[in-house]
Amino acid sequence: MAGARFVQELRARDPRRRFEITVLGAEREAAYNRVLLSSVLAGSLTPAEIETVPSAWYAAEDVELRTGIEVAMVDRRRRRVLTSGGEHIGYDRLVLATGSRAWVPPIDGLVRDDGELDEDVVVFRTLSDCRAMLARLGRVRRAVVLGGGLLGLEAARGLAGRGVEVEVVHPADRLMERQLDLDAGRVLARTLRSLGVRVRLGAQAVSYDEGPCGRGLVLDDGARVPADLLVVACGVRPNTGLAAAARLKIGRAIVVDDRLTSVTDPLIHAIGECAQHAEQVYGLVAPAWEQAAVLADVLTDGTARYAGSQVVTRLKAADVDLAAMGDTDVDDLDEELEVLRFADPARGTYQKIVIRDERVTGAIMLGGPETVGTVTQLFDRAALVPLDRRALIFPGVSDAGGPSDPADLPDDHTVCRCNGVSCGRVREAAEAGARSVADVAATTRATTGCGGCRADVAAVLAAARPADRAVEATVEVPA
């Protein structure tokens, strides 16, 4: 996704097509939107619908697109790459957007002797993984998802929505432990259970093998979880093999500076999940797109520099509303911090907001979605939080008062906005003999605009003329 985005960003800044661009992709497919894989799994989108840039776009923009081509080696000295097909392709600038791959833990039964995944094991990473899973759906009754992180839970929810019995097996003491605290993890597990996803925490898998009642995942406590499909979602590893072989500096990923340029070679750049900037390796699409834009600007002599990304993690799973951002695993008693918390586990709600210097530095928003947009934007923009902190969790709570009985409104209250008529004038009209809303309208014009105040005017009138209450009990609706 980073690569395709970068090409689009570069062409947008290069209308005269100064750059000759060649795109090499190992996957057979043109670029697609990985964020939407969970929608494909859930069945709401077809694989064709998540293609981001059609092949025709590349042709129209004069970009050479070559899919199904793997690069075997980068020859920095001669400024060229060697494909696995033995072809040399020269470059002035090389952008590595090699992404990452699913990590498969060393557990017996996951990988066959030839190094390929076992036929009942899938990872959830690429469109072809997704297709593989979909192709098997008809034959799968029980699936286990190994790993309770973001991708694992999206896969689990997707499979459950397809009618598969699903259990998530997760080694940590909570789901999504990188984003959630213990309580949030518990509430999330409860929500998932209600959607048909079982969750088993603190469980180490030992092997995946054939038992008397079919295949199953064996855990370190000896338990056996039946599974005719095992989805491995244990995290990813950046694809840095090429860069390492070319002796670029690698940390957890390819080390780049603020210009997204390798610190080893000024002609080589890295963006997306294979890049490491300021000790950070990002695994989400938003940072990759931000990097793509910055690099396109850098290569077209712009002044943009990458300063890191604010990360908001958003679980994409039907009927589960979860956003997590910043640092939330904090000491509640830290005097530098304000920690707001609201939990209603029975309704799947847990919200925690961490504030430092009047700014949101971390938040978990689970199941209570009304303020999630507000909190996310405050976090993104480092904007000042509301003076009444409750407004971050309960929308509208700080708005003054609720609706009161119109009859009690003061004389100077405007009851009809369209014609600027106060309660006092309605009462004067009543005093002068008005017996109906129509009478009031005739003298004050109240209710003759949008008509929305008719009931209020009737109430004020009725209270001002108690004897007429029976007459005014029915409120006419405008014709």
Partner 1 sequence: MVATATHCSYCALQCGMTLSPSVDGTVTVRPRDFPTNRGGLCQKGWTAADLLTSPQRLTTPLVRDGRAKDLRPASWDEALDIVADGVRATRRAHGADAVAVLGGGGLTNEKAYQLGKFARVALRTKNIDYNGRYCMSSAAAASNRAFGIDRGLPFPLTDLARTGAVLIAGGNVAETMPPFMQHLAAVRDRGGALVVADPRRTATVDQATLHLPVMPGTDLALALGLFHLAVTDGHVDRAYVADRTTGFEAAWRAAAQWWPERVERVTGVPVTAQRAAVRALADGARGDGAVILTARGAEQQSKGTDTVTALINLALALGLPGRPNSGFGCITGQGNGQGGREHGQKADQLPGYRRIDDPASRAHVASVWGVDADDLPGPGPSAYELIESLGTDGGPRALLVHGTNVVVSSPRGRRVMERLAALDLVVVCDLVPSETAELADVVLPVTQWAEEDGTMTNLEGRVIRRRKAVEPPPGVRTELEVLAGLAERLGHGERFGTDPEQVFDELRRASAGGVADYSGITWERIDADGGVFWPCPGPGHPGTPRLFADGFPTPDGRARFVTVDHRPVAEDVDADHPVYLTTGRVLQQYQSGAQTRRVPSLAAAAAEPHVEIHPDLAGRSGLSDGDLVRVVSRRGDAVGRVRLTTAIRADTVFMPFHWGGEQAVNRVTNPALDPVSRMPEFKVCAVRLERVVS
Site string for partner 1, 318-357 (x = CB under 8 A): ---x-x----------------------------------
State the pairing for strand pair 94-96/268-270.
parallel
Q: How far is the CB of 238 from partner 1 (least distance, A)?
A: 23
The answer to whether 400 contacts partner 1 (rule: CB under 8 A) is yes
The reply on whether position 373 binds partner 1 by CB under 8 A is yes
Closest to partner 1 by CB, 50 vs 298, is 50
49 binds partner 1 (CB under 8 A): yes
Q: Is residue 100 involved in binding partner 1 (CB under 8 A)? A: no
For partner 1, the closer of residues 42 and 231 by Cβ is 42
Beta bridge pairs of residue 293: none
Return the HEC string of 279-308: CECCCCHHHHHHHHHHHHHHHCCCCCCCCC
Asked if residue 33 binds partner 1 (CB under 8 A), the reply is: yes
Choice from 11, 34, 316, 352 touching partner 1 (CB under 8 A): 316
Contact flag: residue 212 with partner 1 (CB under 8 A): no
Which is nearer to partner 1, 26 or 35 (by Cβ)? 35
Q: Provide the minimum distance between the beta carbon of 202 and partner 1 in the complex, in angstroms, as a whole number.
A: 29
- Give which of 71, 129, 64 is closest to 97, Cα–Cα: 71
Rank residues 470 and 479 by Cβ distance to partner 1 and give the closer one.
479
Instruction: Please select the residue that binds partner 1; options are 14, 22, 26, 52, rule is CB under 8 A.
Output: 52
Q: How far is the CB of 296 from partner 1 (least distance, A)?
A: 15
Q: Which of 384, 432, 471, 475 binds partner 1 (CB under 8 A)?
A: 384
Among 21-29, 174-182, 443-451, 457-465, the segment contacting partner 1 (CB under 8 A): 443-451
C-alpha Rg value of the chain to the nearest Å: 30
Q: Which stretch binds partner 1 (CB under 8 A): 47-55, 129-137, 177-185, 237-245?
A: 47-55
Q: Which of 424, 445, 455, 468 binds partner 1 (CB under 8 A)?
A: 445
User: How would you write the chain as a 3-class SS string?
Assistant: CHHHHHHHHHHHCCCCCCCCEEEEECCCCCCECHHHHHHHHHCCCCHHHHECCCHHHHHHCCEEEEECCCEEEEECCCCEEEECCCCEEECCCEEECCCEEECCCCCECCECCCCCECCCEEECCCHHHHHHHHHHHHHCCEEEEECCCHHHHHHHHHHHHCCCEEEEECCCCCCCCCCCCHHHHHHHHHHHHHCCEEEECCCCEEEEEEECCEEEEEECCCCEEECCEEEECCCEEECCHHHHHCCCCECCCEEECCCCEECCCCCEEECHHHEEECCECCCCHHHHHHHHHHHHHHHCCCCCCCCCCCCEEEEEECCEEEEEEECCCCCCCCCCEEEEEEEEHHHCEEEEEEEECCEEEEEEEECCHHHHHHHHHHHHHCCECCCCHHHHCCCCCCCCCCCCCHHHCCCCCEEECCCCEEHHHHHHHHHCCCCCHHHHHHHHCCCCCCCCCHHHHHHHHHHHCHHHHHHHCCCCCCC
> Which span (20-28, 62-70, 292-300, 411-419) binds partner 1, by CB under 8 A?
411-419
Residue 314 interacts with partner 1 (CB under 8 A)? yes
Q: Which stretch binds partner 1 (CB under 8 A): 15-23, 142-150, 379-387, 425-433?
A: 379-387
List the one residue from 263, 417, 431, 432 that touches partner 1 (CB under 8 A): 417
Answer yes or no whether residue 370 interacts with partner 1 by CB under 8 A: yes
One of 29, 118, 183, 380 touching partner 1 (CB under 8 A): 380
Q: How far is the CB of 299 from partner 1 (least distance, A)?
A: 21
Q: Is 448 in the site for partner 1 (CB under 8 A)?
A: yes
Per CB under 8 A, the list member of 376, 409, 426, 440 interacting with partner 1 is: 376
Residue numbers at the binding site for partner 1 (CB under 8 A): 33, 35-36, 39, 44-45, 49-54, 286, 312, 314, 316, 321, 323, 369-374, 376-377, 380-381, 383-384, 386-387, 398-400, 417-420, 445, 448-452, 477-479
